[in-house]
Amino acid sequence: MLPATIPIRAISRGIAVLQALNRGRSLSMMEIANASAVPYPTACRIVQTLILENLVEREPSRRRYRPTALVQTLAHGFQGQGPLIQAARPHIVELTHLSSWPVSLTTHVGASMILRDSTHALTSMTLNSYFPGYTLPILESAAGLVYLAYAPADEREGVLHSLEMLTLDEVPHGLRLIRESSATDIVREQGYATRGHNRFTENPGKTSSIAVPVMHGDKVAGAITLAFFSAAFGMDDALARFEKPLKRCAERISGDLLVAA
């Protein structure tokens, strides 16, 4: 096991900038700084470095920046969660057909939840299509709260410790909620997590979400999340409509995972 060390902040910030660009696809420098929680002057230097490395390019006609195809090389060697995706796909498609709302499958990587599959392209009840590789901040997403609640205590502590070491501007409040309240206990007791008016999406504040865990035996394998327009339902109404179908969907995925193992 590697010894605990203080992270190199420059690398952490570079990754945050690249993830922000990957989520936004085309952003101004100010949008990059805001989305990555990196100071504007630092974000400028990081973007220029990424341009020199051919991972980012400036759009020809305007002062906006986007990732290049070369970012795909960063994923070479990654094996993915093939069995989980295969098990989940038919069930999340069925849930979208029944509910009309998009459903996403995410798994945990570092300080993020990573989108593995979604049904955004199968419904008009969405503002954007999100594709595999899209990152969600673990403390700000319903899927992240579900993961933290169901992860082993030592793994959860490792994630929280890493977030504390990064000291990004938006982290301390979320960390306090986890550290000083019984948030994870409540999520485990009720079997779901919610987030209203999601900030991390391409249309901040326009959608809310409910997430439930996908278990593989006694271990959390990921989360499925149903997103809906914040203006369409209050959270209590959304839970009344979608909590049970979401949990049934997750149980069926878990069952298929065990059969495939």
Coil/strand/helix, residue 127: coil
Contact present, 115 and 131 (Cβ < 8 Å): yes
**Given its phi and psi angles, is residue 114 left (phi above 0), alpha (psi -120 to 50 degrees) or beta?**
beta
Q: Is the pLDDT of residue 169 over 70?
A: no
Tokens of 13: 């910030």
Q: Is the pLDDT of residue 106 over 80?
A: yes
Q: What is the pLDDT of residues 199-210, one digit of tens each?
A: 888 888 999 999
Q: In the block, which residue shows the tokens 């992240």?
A: 144
Q: What is the pLDDT of residues 109-165, one digit of tens each?
A: 877 899 999 999 999 999 888 888 888 889 889 999 999 999 998 888 888 887 777
Which runs of E-coded beta strand occur in 55-159?
56-58, 65-67, 103-109, 112-118, 135-137
Q: Is the pLDDT of residue 220 over 90?
A: yes
Q: What is the pLDDT of residues 50-64, one digit of tens each?
A: 999 989 999 888 889
Contacts of 60 (CB under 8 A, 6+ apart): none
pLDDT at 2: 46
The arithmetic mean of pLDDT across residues 86-110, rounded, is: 95
Structure-model confidence comparison of residues 219 and 132, the more confident one: 219
Structural domains of the chain, with CATH: 9-75 (1.10.10.10), 82-260 (3.30.450.40)
Find which of 23-32, 126-135, 137-146, 246-255 is predicted with most confidence, using mean pLDDT.
246-255
CA-nearest of 62, 64, 61 to 51 is 64
Residues of the chain with pLDDT > 70, as a percent, come to: 90
The arithmetic mean of pLDDT across residues 82-94, rounded, is: 95
